[in-house]
Amino acid sequence: MRQYTGVDKLIQSFDQALRSLVPGATSAHRENPGNSEKAQLGVKDARHVAGLMRVNHSGEVCAQALYHGQALTAKLPNVRREMEQAAIEEQDHLAWCEDRLKELDSVPSLLNPVWYSLSFTMGALAGVAGDKYSLGFVAETERQVSLHLMDHIGQLPESDKRSLKILEQMNEDELHHRDTALQAGGVDLPLPVRITMTAISKLMTKTSYYI
């Protein structure tokens, strides 16, 4: 198996960042779960759903960055593979949210490069702290993402079954990633870390809805 140098890894990280941030650069491996559904929305509802999907898209950008950062610094090969596989699965979510934004004549958040940078740094630091903390970071992240998704599902207009199917599948995947991380040895993070993660998540949610 090829051994990658530090420069190779940096180039790979830059490529991963571009794929996560440039619209249309990421394609889904699975069919969009909302393809079989239709949605008839008025202007006000469409604007609200676009805001929700923009937040969810930013959340998936953050997830990509977290996994890429953790994979870069993970110590055990099996943990690194887990992070890389999770990032691939999260690509589907990124593409699905982007597709829905296009359908709603909207665009991803302009702040995504900021969220990617912050999340990549946090993920890399978690990897440096040790694999059990890195896995615990994944579990806590996915728990918080699931809470956001459930909240957004409750806010969707009843007629928007298309967005509903997407968010339901995303939530199912996030919970699976959380359980996988815990089963692999993830530990609970210190309270200050969890509080910081929640604060950053709330900031991202409030700003990405509009910008």
3-state secondary structure of 191: helix
Binding site, residues? Answer: 60, 90, 93, 142, 174, 177
Tokens of 168: 């339901």
Contact 65, 123 (CB under 8 A): yes
Q: Is 36 exposed, middle or buried (0-12, 13-18, 19+ CB in 10 A)?
A: exposed
Distance between first and last Cα of the chain:
43
Contact 100, 53 (CB under 8 A): yes
Tokens of 169: 């599948």
Binding site for Fe cation, residues? Answer: 60, 90, 93, 142, 174, 177
- Tell me 40's DSSP state: -
Distance (Å, whole) CA 171 – CA 198: 18
Residue 120, H or E segment: helix 112-129
The number of beta carbons lying within 10 Å of the beta carbon of residue 90 is 26
Distance (Å, whole) CA 116 – CA 94: 13
CA 194 to chain centre: 17
